[in-house]
């Protein structure tokens, strides 16, 4: 089963990138709900633990079913390449209560018993109040969880857009989509996403909005029913180094455990890189680097992703933790 986006001639010219602080806030809230998303964000989780404890996120979590509908009025696609959280939140607050009620009902129905729960009934009985309260809760979540870290997050997302914009310019949509996420497939002017449900949408000249996200990892999300702008949210590249300090000397203990060359390779992978890039960076023969990468991958310290004829490597959460132990160098 798959989600299909069907491109016409006009859509090929109307794909664009954007950054959404509101979306990052929503996904940060989802990280707190889904332990499977914690891997790269453990340092952030430690930093926000006290602030998160002061938030009652249950109303938002109730609208985040593991499989099913999330209310579109809570996730309006950004209208430009760079919008503020305040601008995005204003669009949430402006949601029509009658339309919001139907969105809430659809979402609550995806979780057994949610419509009959006290919180669910309260939302459905007064959707205008629900819109206000959910928007207020998102604002508090933004202030507590994301805003203090937004300069670092924004830099990561902007760097991702720059990288993928160059890929688009060099190889077109086929090369772009090939490098965004393993679940994406491009064939015959149709972009497909592997999913548990089937959904087919013609873009009808609107094009596709592409949004990198730090917190959506490891998933890729395709969403927004008409009349909303079709949107694809994918994991930003380089999140393995998002919460780490700038690279420093390879820890002596790590070098003793893995060997100096393998430890140097692990510590230098602050963002995904190919064998050739690492060989140039470390002054080693590509064949030597390749052998070390194979060993590190077999040990569960690296992940590899193919991009065309090139394979890029990135660190697993365990490897990030090992490389971050820079004391005792």
Q: What is the pLDDT of residues 61-90, one digit of tens each?
A: 999 998 888 899 998 888 887 789 999 999
3-state SS, residue 40: helix
Q: Percentages helix, strand, coil for the chain, rounded to the nearest 5?
A: 50, 15, 35
- What is each CA distance from 197 to 3, 9, 12, 30, 69, in whole angstroms? 7, 27, 25, 21, 11
Q: What is the pLDDT of residues 2-11, one digit of tens each?
A: 788 999 989 8
> Does residue 100 register a pLDDT over 70?
yes
> Does residue 329 register a pLDDT over 50?
no
* Paired sense of beta strands 310-315 and 273-274, if any: antiparallel
Split at pLDDT 50, 70, 90, the class of 237 is confident
> Does residue 326 register a pLDDT over 60?
no
Domains of the chain by residue range = 2-239, 244-324
| Domain 244-324 bears CATH identifier 3.90.1150.10 | no
Q: d(Cα 45, Cα 29) in Å, to the nearest integer?
A: 11
Q: What is the pLDDT of residues 209-230, one digit of tens each?
A: 999 999 998 888 886 677 788 8
pLDDT score, position 245: 58
Starting at the edge strand found earlier in the chain, the sheet holding 273-274 runs: 273-274, 310-315, 302-307
Q: What is the mean pLDDT of residues 157-174?
A: 85
The residue among 136 and 274 whose pLDDT is bigger is 136
> Does residue 297 register a pLDDT over 60?
yes
Q: d(Cα 244, Cα 32) in Å, to the nearest integer?
A: 20
55 backbone dihedrals φ, ψ, rounded to 5°: -110, 140
pTM, 2 dp: 0.74
């Amino acid at each position: 089963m798959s989600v299909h986006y069907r491109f016409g001639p006009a859509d090929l010219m109307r794909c664009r990138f954007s950054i959404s602080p509101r979306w990052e806030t929503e996904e940060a809230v989802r990280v707190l709900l889904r332990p499977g998303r914690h891997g790269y964000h453990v340092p952030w989780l430690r930093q926000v633990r006290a602030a998160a404890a002061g938030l009652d996120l249950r109303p938002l979590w109730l609208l985040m079913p593991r499989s099913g509908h999330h209310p579109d009025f809570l996730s309006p696609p950004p209208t430009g390449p760079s919008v503020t959280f305040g601008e995005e939140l204003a669009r949430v607050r402006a949601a029509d209560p009658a339309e919001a009620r139907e969105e809430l009902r659809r979402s609550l129905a995806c979780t057994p018993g949610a419509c009959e729960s006290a919180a669910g009934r309260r939302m459905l009985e007064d959707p205008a109040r629900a819109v206000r309260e959910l928007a207020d809760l998102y604002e508090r979540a933004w202030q507590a969880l994301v805003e203090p870290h937004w300069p670092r997050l924004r830099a990561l997302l902007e760097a991702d857009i720059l990288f993928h914009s160059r890929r688009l310019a060099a190889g077109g949509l086929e090369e772009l989509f090939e490098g965004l996420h393993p679940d994406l497939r491009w064939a015959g002017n149709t972009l497909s996403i592997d999913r548990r449900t089937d959904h087919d949408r013609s873009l009808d000249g609107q094009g596709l909005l592409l949004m990198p996200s730090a917190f959506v990892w490891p998933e890729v999300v395709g969403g927004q029913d008409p009349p909303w702008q079709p949107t694809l949210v994918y994991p930003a590249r380089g999140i393995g180094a998002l919460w780490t300090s700038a690279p420093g000397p390879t820890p002596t203990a790590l070098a003793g455990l893995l060997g100096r060359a393998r430890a140097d390779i692990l510590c230098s992978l602050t963002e995904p890189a190919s064998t050739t890039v690492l060989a140039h960076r470390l002054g080693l023969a590509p064949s030597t680097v390749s052998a070390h990468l194979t060993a590190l991958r077999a040990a569960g310290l690296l992940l590899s992703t193919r991009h065309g004829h090139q394979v890029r490597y990135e660190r697993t959460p365990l490897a990030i933790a090992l490389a971050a132990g820079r004391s005792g160098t």
